[in-house]
Amino acid sequence: MSFPWKPALAALVVLVCIVGGVFFFMQSRPIAVTVNGQHIELGDGKNIEAIIQAGYATPKTGDFVAVDGEVLEAGKGEAFTAYVNSKKVDDPQTKLSAGDIVLVSDGANTMEPSQDTVETVPYEVVQEGNGPLHVIEGEGIDGSKTTKVGDISGKTFVEDIAPQNPVCRQYYPDTGGEKVIALTFDDGPWRDTTEQVLDILKENDVKATFFTVGNRIDDNGKALVKRAYDEGHQICTHTFDHASGDGKGVDLGLMSAEQQIEEVTKGYDAIREAIGADPSTVIRTPGGNFGAEVQKNLAPHISAEIGWNIDSSDWRLPGAEAIAEQLKGAWPGAVILCHDGGGDRSQTVEAIRDAIPYLKEQGYRFVTVDEMLAYPAKAEG
């Protein structure tokens, strides 16, 4: 009796043998890897264990230690520390591939189990320098104090991780003698007044920075803010409602952290809706009150807070001539405080109508706050 399937079966057996042989050959074929900077070839056992057994790395086993680092049992820690292509691996059987870069070093110590108590160490904002420009630098990250009590040794160990403190760098700009000044307006937009201010700025081809109050950006206010933005002026927030309520209309420091943040973020939202773009994260706080707690609470939300070194005193309504005289006394790098809102600002309008052409005749150029921030800090002393 003949079995026609026998030749096919035989062929299949041969194919399996060939495939198996190829697979065995590929598995046993040496691969080139780099171990601790040395180029080597691994044959059988292409893994961390093979590297150690072949003597290409001779890691020392770590110890079993107490919470304070004292050795309780030598050689009872981790057998090795290994990285494959910068990724940490713990299994000695980790399979390696040709071209892998392997680092093998001594094993880490193993610490006894412990009872841990963790306390948060809050970060603080560090104050540096003086001046009208207040720039927040760095991210605030809380530190910690961990108290460990060893289950075996009974020892106590305290581990401190210092907080990462951001810096509020306060400074005067060093313009190198360049006659630039930053003209700023608070408390707008304000019907009629803001429009008149914008007309005067346009007539004189100068730029200014407006610190707006968010709840005043109503339908008419949106148009005024959009016009100011389109004409190249910098639009910033002076908070949403000028710290009303708990802030008594003048001091964010009297408000909770949540209220402070809301004042700023809602102010941003009002500007964003008016101009159709993300607002500047440069702000001015009501009353210029920018104490340490306010700095800490607002630091993640702002890039800078802007004070002033020339107060036009227009809020006192001393008369247009007196306001103009204050402005005419400007110097290179000065930040001037004026108001386009918050009440009758007709004196301010008349004052800038007089002072701006005068200052231009003296060679001054008007810049936005962002442009002033681009100048380096003046050396103290």
Distances (CA, A) of 193 to 196, 219, 337, 347: 5, 16, 16, 10
Q: Which amino acid is at 153?
A: S
Secondary structure (DSSP) of 158-196: EEEE--B--EEEEE-B--TT--EEEEEEEEE--TTHHHH
Integer Cα distance of 109 and 115 in angstroms: 18
- Helical H segments across 205-248, by residue range: 219-230
CA atoms within 13 A on the CB side of 205: 3
For residue 90, give the H/E element and its range.
none
Q: Active-site positions?
A: 186, 339
Backbone CA torsion sign across 50, 51, 52, 55? positive
Residues 6+ apart with CB under 8 A from 298: 252, 260, 261, 264, 283, 305
Distance (Å, rounded) from C-alpha 233 to C-alpha 225?
9
- Number of other residues whose CB lies within 10 A of the CB of residue 332: 17
324 by Cβ neighbours in 10 Å (0-12 / 13-18 / 19+) ranks as buried
